[in-house]
Amino acid sequence: MFTRAYLRASTEDQDASRAKGDLQAFAAEKGLTIASYYLENESGASLQRPELFRLLGDCQPGDILLIEQVDRLSRLNAADWERLKSEIASRRVKVVALDLPTSHMLAKASPDDFTARMLEAVNGMMLDVLAAVARKDYEDRRRRQAQGIVQAKEDKTKYRGRREDTDRNAGIVKMLESGMAWSNIIAATKCSRSTLARLAKRL
């Protein structure tokens, strides 16, 4: 029985190897030796994950697929999650996740066939629940992002900045044309030096 660790991050801006230390500590605690690591930066909402399927292709029946959290394995929709589960089941791979305590028992040899089947059934049910939660979290975040973009566009449309005081600025331009010192213009009009500089460029 081999243990193969899978580490995934959503984008290239994130470090997929961040959880490596946690997986190593868990494996040491359970007396497991991690045979290989598979790292990739892909979305958990997509089945297009070459490293995950390379891992499954390397597995033998009874091997362990070790992950930090269930959402590292799946943020898939229901149909794609069923496809991935089918692939895992066909290869008779055990999924063990640090955030899924019921799966930890799969890291040990089961005393009998009945117990093994019971553990697999319970673990499978909990995997389904956490995969569904991970998908909902993904969809909620996408919806909030979309709403934020719409709100930002609306706010930008509403706010167009302070309107220019054209009468005052026309007077300042005349003062500049007459050769009045900047300090005197600022004292008389209370305008800022940056405003004065901007108006001077118009001359």
Give 12 or 179, the one with higher predicted confidence.
179
Q: What is the set of active-site residues?
A: 10
**Mean pLDDT value across residues 20-29:** 94
Mean of pLDDT over the chain = 88
Sheet of strand 34-41, all strands in order from the earlier edge strand to the far edge: 34-41, 3-9, 64-67, 94-97
Q: Which amino acid is at 64?
A: I
End-to-end C-alpha distance for the chain, whole angstroms:
82
Rounded to two decimals, what is the model's pTM? Answer: 0.69
Question: 94-128 b/e with 16+ CB inside 10 Å = b?
Answer: bbbbbebeebbbbbeeeeeeeeeeebbeebeebbb
Please write the tens of the pLDDT for every residue from 91-128.
Answer: 999 999 999 998 998 888 766 888 888 888 998 999 99
Task: Give the pLDDT band (50/70/90) at residue 176.
Answer: confident
Please write the tens of the pLDDT for every residue from 56-88.
Answer: 999 999 999 999 999 999 999 999 999 999 999
